[in-house]
């Protein structure tokens, strides 16, 4: 059985300036509750902030709408970072802000490029099924 290809309509595009930050697992110290490292909190706040500046009156795309996300990470160095951890920080940061829930994302295109130097950034495009 063949299904018709999904047509995507661009809903939002924005850039987060600065070195892309990977999402890391919550840390735990002996006898304490797990906590999210400050670097991750700052990275998520930067992504949310860039989105909210670009789209100040945005209402999250409601549940039930399939989404595609295209993300290009321009890093200054080749320091070992997994692309899926970079993507996870972006989708978690936009959860409840750009879309109701990241479970709506059914199509992902993520690219990690090096040599950006001072122009390190993350470019994000969110598309919805047309």
Question: Would residue 92 count as lying in a domain?
Answer: yes
- The confidence score (pLDDT) of residue 78 equals 81
DSSP letters spanning 46-95: HHHHHHHHH-TT--PBPTT--EEEEEEEEESS-----HHHHHHHHHHHHB
Mean pLDDT, residues 19-23: 95
For residue 75, tell me if it sits in a domain: yes
Looking at the domain assignment, is residue 28 inside a domain?
no
- pLDDT of 80 > 90? The answer is no
For the chain, how many structural domains are there in total?
1
Range of the domain at 119: 8-23+36-55+64-129
d(CA 23, CA 89): 5
Strand order in the sheet with 105-114: 8-17, 121-129, 67-75, 105-114
pLDDT interval class at 1 (50, 70, 90): low
pLDDT band at 40, cuts 50/70/90? very high
Where does the pLDDT of residue 89 fall: very low under 50, low under 70, confident under 90, or very high at 90 and above? very high
* DSSP H/E element including 45: helix 38-54
Q: Residue 29 falls within a domain, yes or no? A: no
Mean pLDDT of the 100-127 span? 95
Q: Any idea what the CATH number is for the domain that residue 49 is in?
A: 3.30.1330.70
Which pLDDT value is given to residue 28?
66
């Amino acid at each position: 059985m063949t299904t018709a290809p999904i047509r995507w309509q661009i809903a939002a595009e924005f850039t987060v300036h600065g070195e892309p930050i990977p999402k890391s697992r919550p840390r735990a110290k002996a006898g304490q509750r797990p906590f999210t490292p400050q670097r991750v909190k700052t990275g998520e706040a930067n992504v949310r902030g860039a989105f909210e500046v670009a789209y100040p009156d945005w209402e999250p795309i409601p549940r039930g709408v399939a989404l595609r996300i295209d993300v290009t990470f321009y890093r200054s160095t080749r320091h070992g970072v997994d692309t899926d951890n970079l993507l996870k920080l972006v989708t978690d940061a936009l959860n409840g802000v750009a879309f109701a829930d990241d479970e709506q994302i059914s199509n992902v295109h993520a690219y990690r490029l090096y040599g950006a130097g001072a122009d390190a950034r993350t470019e994000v495009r969110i598309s919805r099924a047309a």
